[in-house]
Amino acid sequence: MNKLTTFPYEHVLVLGLAKSGTAAAKVLLANEINVRVNDGSEVDNEEVVKDLESLGAEVITGSHPIAVLEDISMIVKNPGIPYDHPLIKEAQNRDIPIVTEIELAAQLARGPIIGITGSNGKTTTTSMTAQMLEQSNLPVQVAGNIGTAAVEVAEKTDHEERLLLELSSFQLLGVQMFRPKISAILNIYEAHLDYHKTLENYQQAKCNIFKNQIKEDFLVYNADDPTLVQLVEQANAQLVPFSVTGYQDQGACVSDGFIYFKNESIIKVEDIVLVGEHNLANVLAAVSIAKLSGATNTAIKHVLTTFTGVRHRLQFVANVQERLFYNDSKATNLLATQKALRAFRQPVILLAGGLDRGNGFTPLIPDLTYVKEMILFGETAKKLEELANEAGIPSIMTKDVMEAVDQAFASSVEGDVILLSPACASWDQYRTFEERGDMFIHAVHRLA
């Protein structure tokens, strides 16, 4: 196991007993640092508490008493805990440094770190990049916002392994010394303002990914995003732009139907399996990171001709009797469904509906050009029926996703796309969007 090399803090408070907090606490304890763990909720899993206590941690759950700050020299905070939390504000008043576990991961990792952030597309880009490196026989470990806690993976890496991290703005807000060899910012849209309070705060959190980079490092960024073009001017790293719309001889771009990286032709765009212009931008980012990491063109081509998307995110499921089924269950809002609809230039049967959040659906109308029928379910079915009527599109009401798939197949002809892109959260009928998407996949496979 790798050890923390330069860690001057003797008494650390781990705030939040989620996956990352538990992993961080165990790493700190393994490095013989005094650890206090505090979680505001009563922890359901007593085994986790007993395990940490047996390793030497002091665990306090059920509330956040100010007393937990006594003798503390650093806080490792769960990314979801906001900075206006009373305990965090008091810690700031006492000048106690506050970081997230990626700061520990950066010290534990022995090989180069690659960090990917952005408002949209992080998981898709991270997954593609990982596969490109693996296909090139370049050792890589994936962690962060994508699933496994970064510290848990970082402490097991060797000098040859790359640590590939998907990073949220919440994680990046606490950066002190974290420095990736390659960083990437895919895009910046207005998001998470309930947490960051202002757009400027959110943007600066994203920019923390390159805060400590130096001229030997690389910053991959979206040159089609005017805000981002301005923000990266403050970076010290070598800038590597990517663009769907314009030629980039210092980065990646689309030209004459091909993907290029630094004037080198990589692959025909028509050979890429992943659909959607937004995914084309993700492809350019992944190609840039992979090439900077030493990936081969053969490996990159293999991935781009086989990668069908991240589960529940415009994921190709199957071709059933020349009907193409796509699972976009993660489209829990209008913007996500708009992007999905823009990915197709052929007849679409749209499956939509779910939790009613009180919003209207009129903004979808310009993107319904190729939609020939709407199959509706859930609380918002009636609202979406009104939208279909307004757009002059036939619609059918069903009870759930399973019935919607059967109805869509019955209505379809060869060449149709059958797309689940609900534009709504799932909680009226399903516990998660994953459960909703899994029902869609099951229904499609049953047809097949």
Looking at the predicted structure, is the pLDDT value of residue 340 above 70? yes
**pLDDT at residue 131, as a whole number:** 97
Q: What angle do CA 350, 273, 132 make, to 5 degrees?
A: 130
* Distance of alpha carbon 340 from alpha carbon 362, whole angstroms: 16
Local confidence band at 46 (pLDDT 50, 70, 90 cut-offs)? confident
> What residues contact 413, with CB distance under 8 A and at least 6 apart?
347
* Distance of alpha carbon 87 from alpha carbon 288, whole angstroms: 41
Local confidence band at 162 (pLDDT 50, 70, 90 cut-offs)? very high
Q: Among 17-21, 278-282, 390-394, 442-446, which stretch is predicted with the lowest mean pLDDT? A: 17-21
Q: Are 11-99 and 102-304 equal in CATH topology?
A: no
How much is the average pLDDT of 217-236? 96
What tokens appear for 260 in the block? 């290029």
How much is the average pLDDT of 148-160? 89
Looking at the predicted structure, is the pLDDT value of residue 194 above 70? no
Looking at the predicted structure, is the pLDDT value of residue 197 above 90? no
Local confidence band at 359 (pLDDT 50, 70, 90 cut-offs)? confident
**pLDDT at residue 8, as a whole number:** 86
Helix (H, G, I), strand (E, B) or coil at 51: helix
CA atoms within 13 Å, Cβ hemisphere of 305: 12
Q: Which of 384, 372, 365 is nearest to 424 (CA)?
A: 384
pLDDT one-digit tens code per residue, 229-281 = 999 999 999 999 999 999 999 999 999 999 999 999 999 999 998 887 778 99
pLDDT one-digit tens code per residue, 23-39 = 999 999 999 999 999 99
**Cα–Cα distances in Å, from 153 out to 55, 103, 121, 208?**
20, 13, 22, 22
How much is the average pLDDT of 171-175? 87
Higher pLDDT, 278 or 293: 293
Q: Which fold has domain 102-304?
A: UDP-N-acetylmuramoyl-L-alanine:D-glutamate ligase (3.40.1190)
Looking at the predicted structure, is the pLDDT value of residue 158 above 80? yes
**pLDDT at residue 193, as a whole number:** 61
Q: Which fold has domain 11-99?
A: Rossmann fold (3.40.50)
Q: Which of 431, 423, 430 is nearest to 401 (CA)?
A: 430
* Whether 440 contacts 405, CB under 8 Å: yes
Long-range CB contacts (< 8 A, 24+ apart) of 245-253? 248/223, 251/220, 251/223, 251/284, 251/288, 252/284, 252/285, 252/287, 252/288, 252/291, 253/284
**pLDDT at residue 190, as a whole number:** 61
Average pLDDT over the chain, rounded to whole?
A: 92
What tokens appear for 76 in the block? 């490792």
Higher pLDDT, 119 or 423: 423
Give percent of the chain with pLDDT exceeding 70.
98
Give percent of the chain with pLDDT exceeding 90.
74
Q: Which fold has domain 315-447?
A: Protein-Tyrosine Phosphatase; Chain A (3.90.190)
* Top mean-pLDDT range of 1-5, 14-18, 19-23, 323-327: 323-327
**pLDDT at residue 192, as a whole number:** 55
* Distance of alpha carbon 243 from alpha carbon 222, whole angstroms: 6
How much is the average pLDDT of 63-91? 93
**pLDDT at residue 173, as a whole number:** 85
How much is the average pLDDT of 150-170? 91
How much is the average pLDDT of 402-415? 97
Local confidence band at 191 (pLDDT 50, 70, 90 cut-offs)? low
Domain chopping of the chain, boundaries: 11-99, 102-304, 315-447
